Chain A
């Protein structure tokens, strides 16, 4: 059973509008959450993260919100740009391991339409 879920395989948004990508997790032991972005034929790159002691983290056009009681996080991109078109992976980490074990969700493919 997937511990990190992204129930929307794809999302289309008009340029300039807000993109909201959602992620749910099942394991309450996760204490750090991340978003990675992936372009075709490239490896994923780290985008933004949030610790479980916070409920919001902002970096430029990207904001991640965490609702621990609902085991839900979301990534907001405002305003969306065509260059944001990519696959976005939600990931969760924790469980006090000695290495950065990360559980990835299946990804959401975002298309930003000019």
Chain B
């Protein structure tokens, strides 16, 4: 099993350009997430998808769109990149939360390092 895969690993964009970050998981997980990691900020949730066909905003959704193409794939799109979107982007997946005092571990991909000039 590959776990969670992300493409590309690195990307440099100019301000105003668009691009899509791809993510796929082979663990049959229902939930998928997109985070960004910035120095001193930890990981912040951009969007998540609780199941195929559903998506919802996280903490920092502005400037991004997502598509849950099927159960395996969850893509993140930057329509018009800005320097403030320079960051490392992580995709993650987990089982559906069953409620109560439980937690399902999130499995992360290796990340995409994006620079916007």
Bound state CA distance, A93 and B45, in angstroms? 13
> Cβ of B34 < 8 Å from any Cβ of A?
no
Partner of A41, one of B50, B96, B110: B110
Chain A binding surface, main DSSP class:
loop
Decide if A105 touches B110 in the complex (CB within 8 Å).
Answer: no
Decide if B42 touches A43 in the complex (CB within 8 Å).
Answer: no
- In the complex, what residue of chain A is closest to B31 when comparing beta carbons? A99
Partner of B108, one of A41, A44, A49, A52: A44
Decide if B45 touches A101 in the complex (CB within 8 Å).
Answer: yes
Bound state CA distance, A43 and B90, in angstroms? 7
Which residues of B have CB within 8 Å of A26?
none
> Cβ of B24 < 8 Å from any Cβ of A?
no
Decide if A104 touches B106 in the complex (CB within 8 Å).
Answer: no
Q: How large is the interface on B (under 10, 10 to 19, 20 to 34, 35 or more residues)?
A: 20 to 34
> Cβ of B40 < 8 Å from any Cβ of A?
yes
Decide if B90 touches A44 in the complex (CB within 8 Å).
Answer: yes
- In the complex, what residue of chain A is closest to B90 when comparing beta carbons? A43
Bound state CA distance, A97 and B58, in angstroms? 12
Partner of B109, one of A43, A53, A100: A43
Decide if B101 touches A52 in the complex (CB within 8 Å).
Answer: yes
- In the complex, what residue of chain B is closest to A53 when comparing beta carbons? B101
Interface, chain A (partner B; CB < 8 A): 2, 4, 9, 31-32, 34, 41-46, 49, 51-53, 89, 93, 96-102, 104-107
Interface, chain B (partner A; CB < 8 A): 4, 31, 35, 40-45, 48, 50, 90, 92, 94, 96-97, 99, 101-111
